[in-house]
């Protein structure tokens, strides 16, 4: 559990680093009682509880920073509205989908290619990100990855008399 908290805190620290260096329109967050406020927007409502725990640990370590999480159920609509109002959050946790493409098209993102943390991103991940848009700059850095595929139990296939893996 402690190892998980440290890992998750590290991920949040990385996100905050991005917020500081990638602030969507290069503006600083508002000050609230002497604190810098950073807006963290996530397009996945299912990770809100995890982010809240990460934010709690981060704010304890960095008491001069307040992180405000927004993870609405209609995230894509909220993001498009913010984009239309020219009022994007400081940090956006978004998948590699049309939401990212819209953000890149808005020309409100900062090119991260020259940042030290971006240079450590595996080339395959960089290619996955940049293949989503036609510009050669790097406008997003992965902080998590997913694996997708089909897993099957060979013993059950054998028991059922299936000799080859289905292809459809």
Whether the predicted pLDDT of 6 surpasses 70: no
* pLDDT tens digits along 57-109: 999 999 999 999 999 999 888 988 888 888 888 888 887 777 788 888 887 78
Is 166 a domain residue? no
What's the pLDDT score for residue 158? 92
Percent of the chain past pLDDT 90, that is, above it, reads 24
Q: How many domains does the chain have?
A: 1
Report the C-alpha gap between 144 and 163 in whole angstroms.
Answer: 36
Is 164 a domain residue? no
Is 47 a domain residue? yes
**CATH assignment at residue 125:** 3.40.190.10
Is 165 a domain residue? no
Is 168 a domain residue? no
Domain that holds residue 67: 2-159
* pLDDT tens digits along 10-67: 555 555 544 444 444 344 556 667 889 999 999 888 989 999 999 999 999 999 999 9
Is 62 a domain residue? yes
């Amino acid at each position: 559990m402690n190892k998980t908290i440290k890992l998750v805190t590290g991920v949040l620290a990385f996100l905050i680093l991005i917020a500081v260096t990638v602030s969507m329109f290069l503006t600083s967050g508002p000050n609230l009682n002497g604190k810098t406020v950073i807006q963290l927007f996530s397009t996945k409502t299912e990770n809100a509880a995890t982010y809240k725990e990460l934010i709690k640990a981060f704010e304890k370590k960095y008491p001069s920073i307040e992180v405000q999480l927004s993870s609405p159920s209609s995230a894509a609509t909220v993001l498009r509205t913010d984009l239309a109002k020219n009022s994007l959050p400081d940090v956006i946790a978004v998948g590699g989908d049309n939401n990212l493409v819209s953000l890149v098209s808005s020309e409100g993102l900062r090119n991260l290619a020259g940042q030290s943390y971006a240079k450590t991103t595996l080339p395959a991940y960089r290619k996955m990100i940049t293949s989503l848009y036609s510009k050669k700059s790097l406008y997003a850095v992965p902080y998590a990855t997913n694996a997708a595929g089909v897993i099957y139990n060979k013993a059950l296939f054998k028991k059922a008399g299936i000799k080859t893996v289905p292809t459809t």
